[in-house]
Amino acid sequence: MNYPIWVVPYLGGPWVIGIISIIHIFISHFAVGGGAFLALAEQIAYKRKNENLYNYLKGHSRFFLIITTVSGAMTGVGIWFSISLVSPDGTASLIQSFTLAWALEYLFFVAELATAFVYYYTWDRVSKETHLLLARLYMVFSIMTLVIINGIITFMLTPGKWIESHNWLDGFLNPTYFPGLIIRMLIMAAIAGMYALVTSSRIPDPHFRTYMVRFCAKWLIPIFLLGPIVSFWYLNQIPQAAVQTIFTGIQTSGLGNFSILARALYLSMVLSGTIILFAFFGPYLNPRGFTFRIAILFMICGLSVTGTTEWMRELLRKPYVVYNYMYSNGIRKTEVPDIASAGFLNKGKWASALANTPECKADPGEVVYRYQCMSCHTVDGYRSMKRMIGDRDEESVVGFLNMLKEKDPEKNPYHGIMPPLAANDTELKSLAHYLAGLNGKADGSAPKISHGAQTVH
């Protein structure tokens, strides 16, 4: 309500973040895990004086350098661009609290990138010992970037004592900091192993290919065995209300959106199990028969686990952007009672300017929709309001919206899943009028309502 809202038709703003984030997660985890892989593999090459392995690493490191420095870095900045467009209040809150942490992370980025370039360009130009040192330094710096950003990512789901103290360290070293860190390191190692399988499967020398494929399989199996144990620890640390929505959602609510959370959990568990069996019976027991195509299939499985798990983590945080502090629509939890009495359109800078400036000719119902619904819904695309409203007439929409104002979970089944509606009665009615009007069910008595919602009329 403090900022204008970027209207993204059909897809919705959150998916803009989602698409960029998924790509970034695959690449950044590869960057960190790959650093560990390169360092370990180079150590083996050094100990065994294995020139084959050295040559393989040289080839792999070019692919690695280009992917991580170009796509990794750019999509990372892309997440930042997208969150500030879709969730400016949330982004500003994170920035105002953690600027210096980000600044510190930047220092490690510089060290990481500089090391990556020197590492890549000095193959055969420095002693083998120095080169191995560079590989290890790269690994350390890339892990350090994770050590820092993990504090901010986990903060959003479990801000812990920060809610009261507003002390950065309380928010940073929050309850899921350590389990989150370990899970991520496992995922990173797994993705690195899978990328390495892809490049290993293309080694021309059959003997050495077999050796490398087996090496990667050995790298992968323990990771997937450890995964479930750490995940259990992680789930124990997150707000239990959020955990409940995973499981109760599937039983009590017929709406697909909530049960998806449980489905995602099961899917990620099934996929992980598949990968362990796959890795054991495939590349480990039968490394000779391992081909490039199987490696790609393997990779798809691995990225699907990562994707579903990350998506689940995002869903767990609903309806908040910072748990118990700020809702996904940018309204702070503490502001809700005040808004409900004073009126939403009198509070925020942009919401009130849009609703109260005659030149904007905005429909107040649509303004409330933009600010309070559009952070998760679209008119006729993703989580379509037209579909959700269905055949409801204006009166039943009013009833539904009144339920969304209830703080008691008994009376409001959406409590803990959707933010409470922060609006006074008049605003609620105009929102209902707008929403019912989407399917042509608005009462004729109210002012004419636009159906587009793509621009303010």
Footprint (CB under 8 A) of another protein, residues 100-159:
100-104, 106-111, 113-115, 117-118, 120-126, 130
Nearer to another protein, 445 or 455 (CB): 455
Which of 279, 241, 284, 211 minimizes the C-alpha distance to 414? Answer: 241
**Of residues 168-207, which lie at the interface with another protein (CB under 8 A)?**
168-169
Q: Are 139 and 39 in contact (CB under 8 A)?
A: yes
Helix/strand/coil for 332 = strand
Q: Classify each residue of 385-417 as buried b or exposed e, where b means 16 or more C-beta atoms within 10 Å of its C-beta.
A: bbeebeebebeebbebbeebbeeeeeebbbbbb
Cα 433 to Cα 366: distance, rounded to the nearest angstrom = 9
Stretch of 166-174, 265-273, 284-292, 306-314 contacting another protein, by CB under 8 A: 166-174
Report the residue from 77, 225, 270, 277 that binds another protein according to the rule CB under 8 A: 77
Q: Using the rule CB under 8 A, is 91 a contact of another protein? A: yes
Nearer to another protein, 84 or 257 (CB): 84
Nearer to another protein, 93 or 142 (CB): 93
Q: Using the rule CB under 8 A, is 46 a contact of another protein? A: no
Report the residue from 46, 80, 208, 280 that binds another protein according to the rule CB under 8 A: 80
**Of residues 259-298, which lie at the interface with another protein (CB under 8 A)?**
none
Per-residue contact track with another protein, 234 to 253, x per CB under 8 A? --------------------
Q: How far is the CB of 142 from another protein (least distance, A)?
A: 13
Q: Using the rule CB under 8 A, is 89 a contact of another protein? A: yes
Which of 84, 4, 85 minimizes the C-alpha distance to 351? Answer: 4
Q: Are 31 and 142 in contact (CB under 8 A)?
A: yes
Nearer to another protein, 93 or 200 (CB): 93
**Of residues 345-364, which lie at the interface with another protein (CB under 8 A)?**
349-350, 353-354, 357, 359-362
Burial of 51 per CB tally in 10 Å (0-12, 13-18, 19+): exposed
**Of residues 438-457, which lie at the interface with another protein (CB under 8 A)?**
454-456
Cα 420 to Cα 416: distance, rounded to the nearest angstrom = 9
Question: Residues in contact with another protein, total (CB under 8 A)?
Answer: 75
Nearer to another protein, 95 or 255 (CB): 95
Nearer to another protein, 240 or 454 (CB): 454
Helix/strand/coil for 312 = helix
Q: Using the rule CB under 8 A, is 344 a contact of another protein? A: no
Which of 271, 270, 263, 276 minimizes the C-alpha distance to 311? Answer: 263
Cα 136 to Cα 111: distance, rounded to the nearest angstrom = 12
Q: Is the peptide bond before 222 cis (omega within 30 degrees of 0)?
A: no
Q: How far is the CB of 341 from another protein (least distance, A)?
A: 19
